Copies of this chain bind each other. A is one copy, B any other.
């Protein structure tokens, strides 16, 4: 017991020092989660995956753990030392087996919607993610799971749906169900828009895609025009607010729905609480938060990101490690929604986001 109190104090100390260095809120529980991940894998990106903390927090915690003699680096891998086993003997490994192997933790059966094979074939020719647009697409499984969840919640049939940014090809998957009344995809990347329109045309899908820089105000005719939006907003607080309000501005009103991808890798839980307040203050309620729902394929420009730069060891990211939560919201009262210009500084002022 005395030993356990010592361990607790050590966690608190590491949390405090990490917070001081990163300017991101860090709790002893965060450090515990990182140690649990370190015990599970030696690969830095998998530690990110298991612990689900902002990368600067993980990087600094690992640097401190090394400094205090708990771990060592070996061939770009992280090695647990005896001191860590002793001091933190009670912290268990992450048990991957507790996640449902059938649905990978999403709770969704992606086979029942019946578009998997067609979508899988189509997406093989998708444009590759590029850094200029902060792209990175989720796996085809994740896209189908998103659409399946939308179907399960009654958010597709005869609905007018707007997809704000769509390197995940959610628009195409939605159109393949043949259920929506209208699907509009906006993206800044002409390659994606051309690809989406070509697929739509060649297969006779009810789907329209337009090149649009989402930092600009949206066309007036979008106001109160859609039942559902789908988007992965920027996660800097100010940018999130602007983006969310613009998305909600497109919705018809009470009963309308939004699907939002949100990460814990570019946001701390402390920031999440701020973002959740923004959601509630906009007139919406959060109906679902399913962690690790959207699984991202690794992207080519990973080694040019800040995340790579601050990684304490340069382990390759061979398997999927970047994931995001699927958050569904629904409007419950007259929304607070402005359609404003988003300034570049709004997007990028944030100490927690590093993967763009």
Contact, CB under 8 Å: A109 / B113:
no
Kindly identify, within residues 246 to 294 of chain A, every residue whose CB is under 8 Å from any CB belonging to chain B.
Answer: 254-257, 269-270, 272-273, 276-277, 280, 284-291
Q: Which of A147-155, A217-225, A316-324, A337-345 lies on the face that meets chain B?
A: A147-155
A295 at the B interface (CB under 8 A): no
Name A270's closest neighbour in chain B (CB-CB): B332
A4 at the B interface (CB under 8 A): yes
A237 at the B interface (CB under 8 A): no
A330 contact set on B, CB distance < 8 A? 29, 269
Which of the residues B95, B151, B257 comes within 8 Å of A151, measured between beta carbons?
B95
Interface string of A77-102 (1 = CB under 8 A from B): 00000000000001110110111111
- Min CB distance A3 to B, Å, is 11
Which of the residues B91, B99, B112, B272 comes within 8 Å of A107, measured between beta carbons?
B99
A300 at the B interface (CB under 8 A): no
- Min CB distance A250 to B, Å, is 16
Q: Which of A30-38, A133-141, A183-191, A208-216 lies on the face that meets chain B?
A: A30-38
Which of the residues B36, B148, B254, B273 comes within 8 Å of A285, measured between beta carbons?
B273
- Min CB distance A14 to B, Å, is 12
User: With A91-B157, A107-B290 known to touch, is A152 a contact of B36 (CB < 8 Å)?
Assistant: no
Rounded to whole angstroms, the CA-CA distance of A24 and B255 in the bound complex is 14
User: With A107-B103, A107-B105 known to touch, is A280 a contact of B291 (CB < 8 Å)?
Assistant: no
Contact, CB under 8 Å: B152 / A99:
yes
A284 contact set on B, CB distance < 8 A? 273
- Min CB distance A274 to B, Å, is 9
Rounded to whole angstroms, the CA-CA distance of A285 and B30 in the bound complex is 14
Rounded to whole angstroms, the CA-CA distance of A101 and B270 in the bound complex is 35
**Most chain B CB atoms below 10 A, which of A148, A257, A290, A332:** A332
A4 contact set on B, CB distance < 8 A? 158, 181
Which of the residues B151, B255, B272 comes within 8 Å of A98, measured between beta carbons?
B151
Rounded to whole angstroms, the CA-CA distance of A95 and B108 in the bound complex is 11
Name A100's closest neighbour in chain B (CB-CB): B103
Contact, CB under 8 Å: B92 / A112:
no
A306 at the B interface (CB under 8 A): no
Kindly identify, within residues 162 to 178 of chain A, every residue whose CB is under 8 Å from any CB belonging to chain B.
Answer: none
A130 at the B interface (CB under 8 A): no
User: What 9 A-B pairs are tightest by C-beta distance, nearest first?
Assistant: A29-B255, A27-B255, A102-B102, A273-B285, A100-B103, A97-B112, A90-B158, A105-B107, A107-B107
Give me the interface of A with B, judged by CB distance under 8 Å: 4, 25, 27-30, 32-33, 36, 90-92, 94-95, 97-103, 105-109, 112-113, 148-149, 151-152, 154, 157-158, 179, 181, 254-257, 269-270, 272-273, 276-277, 280, 284-291, 330, 332-333
Given A102-B103, A276-B285, 16 additional A-B pairs, CB 8 A = A25-B332, A27-B332, A32-B255, A91-B154, A91-B158, A94-B154, A98-B108, A98-B109, A99-B107, A99-B108, A99-B109, A100-B107, A106-B107, A107-B107, A269-B330, A277-B280
